[in-house]
Chain A
Amino acid sequence: NAGVMQNPRHLVRRRGQEARLRCSPMKGHSHVYWYRQLPEEGLKFMVYLQKENIIDESGMPKERFSAEFPKEGPSILRIQQVVRGDSAAYFCASSPPGFSYEQYFGPGTRLTVT
């Protein structure tokens, strides 16, 4: 059973460009979480999605950031018009259907904005 997959592992964007980060959950998992890890800081929750639904986006910046988890395909975290402050590691986690405290993390995508 493959783990959570994220791609790309490293992404470089110039200021003003768009960044798309992909997350494929573990097989059978229907819940996806996105976290951001800023340099020298802990992980911060961004958004929690189930298939075709955003359950909790309380950690998402109000502008430029969006997330989706379509019925088919990976979950996408999209950052429009990136700025230097968006440079961070973005982690995706998945959990099985139902109520579960356990989350399985992917390897992360390191975004660098130049």
Chain B
Amino acid sequence: AQSVTQLDSHVSVSEGTPVLLRCNYSSSYSPSLFWYVQHPNKGLQLLLKYTSAATLVKGINGFEAEFKKSETSFHLTKPSAHMSDAAEYFCVVSVGDMRFGAGTRLTVKP
């Protein structure tokens, strides 16, 4: 069985400062890991994915995530937040079917 925990339900940053959204997972097998973003009234959009290749994964819009097996973590980062990054972010673990975290709401202050 697999599960995923997003450690912060809400993160607030100022525009231009770094973003860190934390995600820990558990899985009996080598999982695939994803980050999705959801803007209000929009469908989920895939930001990036890890599928057992390079541990540092680069995604769209300047986001990246690092797979750390020893820490069972897959934190999402961005060097400099933009106002348009304000959204809900979901970390997902998959071994066959997908398990979603509860989401982290990112607020970006001007």
What is the size category of the interface that chain B forms with chain A?
20 to 34
* A101-B49, A101-B51 as given contacts; A41 in contact with B102, CB under 8 Å: yes
B32 contacts the other chain (CB 8 A): yes
- B-chain residues with CB within 8 Å of residue A45 when the two chains form the complex: 97-100
* A42-B90, A42-B102, A102-B49 as given contacts; A48 in contact with B44, CB under 8 Å: no
B binding-site residues for A, Cβ under 8 Å: 6, 32, 34, 36, 41-46, 49, 51, 90, 94, 97-103
Query: A88-114 toward B: CB 8 Å interface, digit per residue (1/0)?
Result: 000101000000011111111000000
Contact A43 B97 (CB under 8 A): no
A4 contacts the other chain (CB 8 A): yes
Q: How far is the CB of A33 from chain B (nearest CB, A)?
A: 8
- A-B CB pair tally, cutoff 8 Å: 45
What is the size category of the interface that chain A forms with chain B?
20 to 34
* A101-B32, A103-B98 as given contacts; A42 in contact with B44, CB under 8 Å: no
Bound-state CA distance A15–B11 (Å) is 36
* A43-B90, A45-B97, A101-B32 as given contacts; A107 in contact with B42, CB under 8 Å: yes
- B-chain residues with CB within 8 Å of residue A108 when the two chains form the complex: 43
